[in-house]
Structure 1
Amino acid sequence: MPIPESGRAAALLSAMVARGTERGSPAWRELGEVVRTAAGQDPSVARLWSPPDAQPDAATARSLQDLARLATTLAASAGADARTASTVDGWLRRYAPGPDRPEHTNSIGGAAVLHGPSVQARDIHGSVHVHQRSGPEKPRPPVPRQLPPQRRPLVARESDVRALDRLRSGHPAESPQLLVVSGFAGVGKTTLVSHWLHELASSFPDGQLYADLGGRSAATEDGGGPVRASAVLEGFLFALGAHSVPADTAQRVALWRSLTSRLRLAVLLDDAYTSAQVRPLLLGSPAGITVVTSRNHLTGLLVDGASVHRLGTLAPESAVELLAAGGGGQRVAQDPETAREVVTLCGCLPLAVCLASAQLAARPHHTLSALARSLSRGQGPLDALRVEGEAVVRTALDLSYRLLPAGSAALYRRMGLLPADRFDLSLLTAISGDVTPGRTDGPPGSPHEGRPASPDGPGDPDGSGDADLAVGALLEANLLEETGPGTYRFHDLVRPHARSLGETRESPAQREGTLRRFVDWCLATATAAESILTPGHRMAARDSAVPDVAPAALETPAEALAWLDTHRTILLGAVQHSARAGWHTACWQLTDAAWPLFVRLRPRELWIEMHRTGLAAARSDGSREGEGRMLTSGAIGLRDAGRYPEAADWYARALEHATADGDVRQQAQAINGLGHISLLTHQYDEARTHFEQALRLRESAGYARGAALSRRRLGETALAAGDHGTAARYLTDAFTQLESQGEGYEAARALALLGRALACGGDHEGGTRRLREALETFRSSDVRSEHWEGYSLEWLGEAAARQDDPAEAVRRYEAARNLFLRVSPADAQRMDDRLRHV
């Protein structure tokens, strides 16, 4: 008598469960034959069956719900086809539980859901047998609390804790929350997040799970690598009470999402390597939170709804607090200045500061001064801060470096070679050379050979060497910081690491090529700025020497002056390196091209240092023209610094040099400079004689700009001597001529002096009007000059005092003093003197 369909389905399920632990046994091989027979009538049966030669524990891994669907489908096929019914009933007679097929069978109706040893059904008839491999049911494990322990109170991270609180509270309640905390190696990501989640323990009563994803081990060469998501899931599932875990990763992910769908759970995924590594581990519960830490930005997780918090280094005062808390104690309190030096040497990086503090704790008689000396030697904290003999800061940076694509690794090394404290994308493009992103710097045969260009995406498929892509990977790895649109900097501890790699892994030819391109870029861009700001200063001989390198894009005077201002230390570095390398022509020409920087912004020490170096280079280069320009331009810097005798000596040497060469323009320049020294030392007759001689020489040479500048000096001399009418005539002519030549800055200087001459001569209204016009010009982006803005304010205050308006005078003097405090302490002192006598 055939078995009814409902009874057949229940019997099949009971037999499958009974034989479920015997994967590969005769019962399961024969069931496969049954399935193939049934599939001839109903192809859907085959989709519910795993082949008998699959992984041995696959049957165990199948849920009872899957087995119930297979049993129901087989029973339905048997009811519709006699051949299928024969094979199904024959298998049941052989393998159903008990010696004989029972007269009464279980009947499970409705949408049955079976989990482990429990059965849920609308109707149950007879008995249900559930067979398991193991013995008694395992007890439920305790609520997992896996976060790393808090070793000490969190120091100086209050603002970051508040930022995480804001991200958490601002997240929509209906969707799962994902936070990414990224930052430089050793910046304290794990410490911060662990502390934060410990404080929130009561918000997650179902537990706190932790996994170290091993991002740092991705750089090893011993066959290691980041931890696989599948392995992490296995641990998480067992921690949450799962008795068995599927072998297939996709099934583990499904079970993970099902088990956690309603749990109030916190998961910390520490040191993640890629976004792909994290995605299978994300919670599906809106009541839970997943927090990921990584040295990389993991921007790929933004599409998964991640909120990102980038953790920076400590403020110096906070770093000092950490140094004291860890082991510095009284020594920090007694010597705060040296303590600040120590944390500065550590780059205010928490890892480095903690290691320094540990050294103090281990050596109670070791002074802060001794520690500072140790940190300042050699490679500094890179080598000095060790744990059990290992230079941990260097090791952390080495690991981050090994994960870089080849193009980014090469750019990192080359950037380390540059005497620069900031980097523009234009500069990085210039030094890229043959940099091609797409493969890492890992050695052949290592696990990292041929890794993709970014931890979150494929490499550059065409090897185009795009510097922007190479920079992107450095930013992603937190080895480079973005300071503005297209501008970047190294952390203080990263720079020596990059430099060390550049010096050891770049060949001598590569090092020279990188530095040559750097100097060429500086010269090309400085020349472009000079052409915009002081076109009359550019020398014709340098036009043919400007290197064939694309300069930074500069279009307006404001952009040109801002570039010179922000790159002043880079220009000094380029000049100094050129001198060391024997690139004499580039050395003095770069100094000469930086003229607008000196005359507009007056960085006196930089001015003098670059011209001393440039003068020596011009002599070594055998350039008479270069030597003359270095002497006259450098003398102005010496004069501006108040070093009048030395400035006069440089001018005298320049005059002798130009006279020997028959260079009339340079003769006039030197004589004009000598006249200015006389003016500043109150020798007005001598000054007037020099300026008149310079004017004649410049007019004879057809040098209209120079002639106008000499007239301005003659006006200044007359003004200083009290001859206000003569001063006004000279200054009016100078202003008109300079303005007609497009010399906005020089014309504004003449206008300010003219305003002062008129005001001193009794024309208060005319004088103050011109002074206000000059003031607005010096405040404009095209002609900006804080020095001359200050002078204009001072002279407006002087005019107000002369009109018996002390309130206005004080207002102008105070504004001038505030400007001079930033750019000229001596001038600020003069304003204090004026304010005392108003």
Structure 2
Amino acid sequence: MTKGERPPSNAFSGVVQGSVVQAGSVGHVTIHQATPRHTVPSQLPAPSPSFTSRDDELAQLRQWLDTEPDGPLLVVVSGAGGVGKTTLALRWLHDARDRFPDGQLYVDLGAFAPTGPVEPEQVLEWFLLALGVPATTMPQGLAQREATYRSLTADRAVAVLLDNAYSAAQVRPLLPATSRSVVAVTSRWRLAGLRLNGARFIELDPMSVDDSMRMLDTIVGAERFTDEPGQAEELARLCGGMPIALSVVGARLSAYPHRSVSRELQSLRGADRLATLTVDESSVAAIFDVSYAELPILEQRTYRICALHPGSVFGLDVAAAAVGDTSDDIEDSLADLVDRNLIKEIADRRFRYHDLLLVHARQQVRGDEREPAVQRMIEWYLNQSVAADLVLRPTRRRVGPRFRARPDAGFTSQADALDWLTSERRNIMLAVQSAHEYGWDELTWEFCEALWGFYLYVRNYDDSLKVHALGIPAAIRCGDANAEAQLRAQLASALTNLRRYDEAIHECHLALRLADELHDEAIKAVVLGELAGAVGGTGDLTGALEHLTEVRQIRLRIGTERAAAQTQRRIGEVLVRLHRYDEAIVALREAADAMASLDRVQRGHALNSLGALYLRLDKLDEAVSPLTEALEIARELGSAHYVAGVEVALGDVAWARGDVAEARSNWSTAMSTYSASGDPKAADVAKRLERKSPPSTSET
């Protein structure tokens, strides 16, 4: 042994795969890298034994698989946490596993892991190991690993499930190279950026009640519900169609076979339904909590505040009002929530929560946020309703303080205002109810006045009665006699149209007493006008004419020209019923001419009445012109009820001319409109439709 030479030793260190060759002296070494072994990974977790339904989604996935696209099939299954994304993907890939003889790869990308999402470089190491690359020759760096992965998958048919993805950037390096492969990605985000990679998308919604019941039957057994029929349906409904919730309930019922379904229902009906939906380590609330915690501050606020909306569907503008931020910022926040599948956009700028997410969002609301946010939403609906009413009936008398401010909601026409009121009808009704429940009396009765014009146009008497039942007591509690008188007159109008004349007359007398106490001629004219309609309905036409004559005199005296012209039309209509036809023609023509420059809609009403009078007088040619113009005006407005009224008259003209098909067509259309709104006029039209053949003279 020469100086400095170390003695031989059999010791070695480090990680060794394969044989160890020991030698005292090696002159030359050539290292050949190991060739990756062709292994067939089988990493997919087992499919859920409780998987049921999702037939449409599975059919779509199978269809895409059969089309054999140019490149690997990439499918993104997105949806809220717990909606069953992974379960669906696993079922599909297991059913198709024979088409992937080179194996299946699986990874949980950890979108919500405490340590953060898994980096693509790390995932590629796992995949390369599974595909046979030795650890000793593992490429270093994302680019090298991605290149090796693509090389190894170029000639293989593999299925890859990328579960719980965080972003499109996380997914792209993990796409195999061959067209024979398929990649399924599940995510709470929609991952729209993967469209650039040719992805197909399925947005998974909660299950229907029927499908939820089938899932419960699969987990628990249908016989469990035999003694308590109907219980499965309510269980399914309370689980909101979320498979995770159904699994929790099913597991609990299975674990406790003697627990009644009714007892389980009772616990779910409690105030904290989400806390109840927990078994072992599975918790619906925990899944939602993770999604909420990941949100930026404004998105968190938007998520919880919008959940206070009184209706199930809400728009962008009311959301901005509720949160107290600009529409642009809230639009971005809502888009983020949609992208994360925490809310769903069901139409342009129209959103809703899934049932259990709505429960969760409301639980996040802070104590000092609830009432102010609800009030902002209710006031937004009230201001919009006021603005719409100002467009619908710009000159009518009003008493509400909000009308003096004349809010502008950007309605460009009466039809535009009517469309908004119609589309938001349910939300407005719920806003009125919320104002009542919070004890905001002034808001409640102001809604009542703001909606009157809308109810006149659409003849929605059911809503009108409900709103007035809340609004009149609210006005009384406010001590506002002017408002009470106005609302009682409005209620009388609805009651008269429902042919409940005695009740209408009673309301008018109460309102007249208030008007006299107030010494207010304007409100007195309004009330007398409604009283005329009610007494006329009882058959007292002379009394009706006297009231209307007094109304017209008051309105001419106080200078309300449009209202006076409207009253002149009503006088003409009463004169028709009194068979004073010549006077009626004069009155109706005067009203129509006056309204030409004052109110196009009211001109349409006068023309409709004039045309009907000519029909009654068998002057069919003279009837057509005013009725045709009236129909044009009604269609411009977009009021189905007004259109129906003119269609009835035109149907009568067609019948008198012997055109049975035209008459029945007009009447049938009007009948559908009246029936849909509960208008008693439907019965009158039904009698017309029962006619067998045209008479020799016109019928009225």
For this structure pair, what is the TM-score category when the shorter chain's length is used for normalisation?
A: 0.7 to 0.9
Q: Is the 8 A contact 2:251 2:279 kept in 1?
A: no
2:484 and 2:209 map into 1 onto residues whose CA distance is: 45
Shift of the 761–414 alpha-carbon distance from structure 1 to 2, 3 Å rule, reads same
Matching residue of 1:386: 278
Shift of the 522–22 alpha-carbon distance from structure 1 to 2, 3 Å rule, reads farther
1:150 and 1:375 map into 2 onto residues whose CA distance is: 28
2:73 and 2:462 map into 1 onto residues whose CA distance is: 55
Matching residue of 2:127: 236
1:369 and 1:710 map into 2 onto residues whose CA distance is: 62
Task: Return the offset for 1:475.
Answer: 0.9
2:329 and 2:392 map into 1 onto residues whose CA distance is: 32
2:691 and 2:217 map into 1 onto residues whose CA distance is: 49
Aligned counterpart in structure 2 of residue 816 of structure 1, from 630, 653, 670? 670
Unaligned runs of 5+ in 1: 1-20, 24-55, 61-95, 107-113, 119-137, 436-463
Which letter maps to 1:258?
S
Q: Is the 8 A contact 2:387 2:406 kept in 1?
A: no
Matching residue of 2:338: 475
Q: Is the 8 A contact 2:34 2:134 kept in 1?
A: no
Shift of the 584–733 alpha-carbon distance from structure 1 to 2, 3 Å rule, reads same
Post-superposition CA distance 1:492-523 (Å, at most 9, x none)? 32222222211xxx242x33432332233223
Which letter maps to 1:765?
D
Residues 767-778 of structure 1 correspond to what in structure 2 (within 5 A)? 767-778=623-634
Aligned counterpart in structure 1 of residue 102 of structure 2, from 180, 192, 206? 206
1:356 and 1:720 map into 2 onto residues whose CA distance is: 67
2:80 and 2:539 map into 1 onto residues whose CA distance is: 58
Post-superposition CA distance 1:369-399 (Å, at most 9, x none)? 776665444245x344332496x33333222
TM-score by length of 1: 0.73
Shift of the 833–431 alpha-carbon distance from structure 1 to 2, 3 Å rule, reads same
1:412 aligned onto 2:271: no
Aligned counterpart in structure 2 of residue 596 of structure 1, from 450, 453, 458? 453
Task: Return the offset for 1:268.
Answer: 0.7
Worse-superposed segment, 828-837 or 302-311: 828-837
Matching residue of 2:5: none
1:187 aligned onto 2:80: no
Residues 647-686 of structure 1 correspond to what in structure 2 (within 5 A)? 647-686=504-543
Post-superposition CA distance 1:180-209 (Å, at most 9, x none)? 111122222122222222222222111111
Aligned counterpart in structure 2 of residue 746 of structure 1, from 581, 602, 605? 602
SS of 2:307's equivalent? helix
Post-superposition CA distance 1:511-543 (Å, at most 9, x none)? 343233223322332222122221113637635
1:520 aligned onto 2:379: yes
1:424 aligned onto 2:281: no
Residues 75-114 of structure 1 correspond to what in structure 2 (within 5 A)? 99=25, 101=27
Post-superposition CA distance 1:788-811 (Å, at most 9, x none)? 222333333333444444433333
1:762 aligned onto 2:659: no
2:210 and 2:684 map into 1 onto residues whose CA distance is: 35
TM-score by length of 2: 0.86
Q: Is the 8 A contact 2:245 2:277 kept in 1?
A: yes
Matching residue of 2:3: none
Which letter maps to 1:200?
A
Q: Is the 8 A contact 1:267 1:289 kept in 2?
A: yes
SS of 1:296's equivalent? coil
Aligned residues between the structures: 677
Identity %: 32
Matching residue of 1:146: 43
1:400 aligned onto 2:254: no
SS of 1:185's equivalent? coil
1:486 aligned onto 2:349: yes
Which letter maps to 1:814?
S
Residues 39-78 of structure 1 correspond to what in structure 2 (within 5 A)? none
Aligned counterpart in structure 2 of residue 736 of structure 1, from 593, 597, 601? 593
Which letter maps to 1:415?
C
Shift of the 400–815 alpha-carbon distance from structure 1 to 2, 3 Å rule, reads same
Which letter maps to 1:590?
F
Shift of the 665–337 alpha-carbon distance from structure 1 to 2, 3 Å rule, reads farther
Aligned counterpart in structure 2 of residue 280 of structure 1, from 166, 173, 191? 173
2:677 and 2:229 map into 1 onto residues whose CA distance is: 29
Which letter maps to 1:190?
T
1:295 and 1:235 map into 2 onto residues whose CA distance is: 23
Which letter maps to 1:752?
N
Shift of the 423–100 alpha-carbon distance from structure 1 to 2, 3 Å rule, reads closer
Q: Is the 8 A contact 2:536 2:544 kept in 1?
A: yes
1:612 aligned onto 2:529: no
Matching residue of 1:163: 60
Which letter maps to 1:785?
S
Task: Return the offset for 1:294.
Answer: 0.8
Post-superposition CA distance 1:607-652 (Å, at most 9, x none)? 2222232223333333333222222223323333444333222221
Matching residue of 2:155: 262
Residues 547-586 of structure 1 correspond to what in structure 2 (within 5 A)? 552-586=409-443
Task: Return the offset for 1:248.
Answer: 4.4
Post-superposition CA distance 1:12-58 (Å, at most 9, x none)? xxxxxxxxx999xxxxxxxxxxxxxxxxxxxxxxxxxxxxxxxx88x
1:712 and 1:236 map into 2 onto residues whose CA distance is: 83
Residues 347-362 of structure 1 correspond to what in structure 2 (within 5 A)? 347-356=240-249
Shift of the 168–511 alpha-carbon distance from structure 1 to 2, 3 Å rule, reads same
Aligned counterpart in structure 2 of residue 710 of structure 1, from 537, 547, 567? 567
Unaligned runs of 5+ in 2: 1-10, 693-700
Q: Is the 8 A contact 1:755 1:770 kept in 2?
A: yes
Q: Is the 8 A contact 1:536 1:705 kept in 2?
A: yes
Which letter maps to 2:74?
L
Shift of the 294–759 alpha-carbon distance from structure 1 to 2, 3 Å rule, reads same
SS of 2:364's equivalent? helix
Shift of the 763–326 alpha-carbon distance from structure 1 to 2, 3 Å rule, reads farther
Q: Is the 8 A contact 1:691 1:713 kept in 2?
A: yes
Q: Is the 8 A contact 1:419 1:574 kept in 2?
A: yes
Task: Return the offset for 1:409.
Answer: 0.3
SS of 2:341's equivalent? coil
What CA RMSD, in Å, does the superposition of the two structures yield over aligned residues? 3.5
1:275 and 1:818 map into 2 onto residues whose CA distance is: 51
Q: Is the 8 A contact 1:655 1:670 kept in 2?
A: yes
1:369 and 1:761 map into 2 onto residues whose CA distance is: 69
1:668 and 1:99 map into 2 onto residues whose CA distance is: 120
1:306 aligned onto 2:160: no
Residues 523-538 of structure 1 correspond to what in structure 2 (within 5 A)? 523-537=382-396
Post-superposition CA distance 1:433-486 (Å, at most 9, x none)? 369xxxxxxxxxxxxxxxxxxxxxxxxxxxx98212211221111111112222
2:638 and 2:227 map into 1 onto residues whose CA distance is: 46
Task: Return the offset for 1:568.
Answer: 2.2
Matching residue of 1:292: 185
1:563 and 1:720 map into 2 onto residues whose CA distance is: 36
1:537 and 1:246 map into 2 onto residues whose CA distance is: 80
2:229 and 2:562 map into 1 onto residues whose CA distance is: 55
Which letter maps to 2:568?
R
Which letter maps to 1:197?
L
1:374 and 1:798 map into 2 onto residues whose CA distance is: 61
1:483 and 1:182 map into 2 onto residues whose CA distance is: 16
SS of 1:466's equivalent? helix
1:262 and 1:521 map into 2 onto residues whose CA distance is: 61
1:116 aligned onto 2:13: no
Shift of the 710–415 alpha-carbon distance from structure 1 to 2, 3 Å rule, reads same
Q: Is the 8 A contact 1:204 1:265 kept in 2?
A: yes
1:500 aligned onto 2:375: no
Which letter maps to 1:275?
A
Q: Is the 8 A contact 1:584 1:620 kept in 2?
A: yes
Task: Return the offset for 1:325.
Answer: 4.2
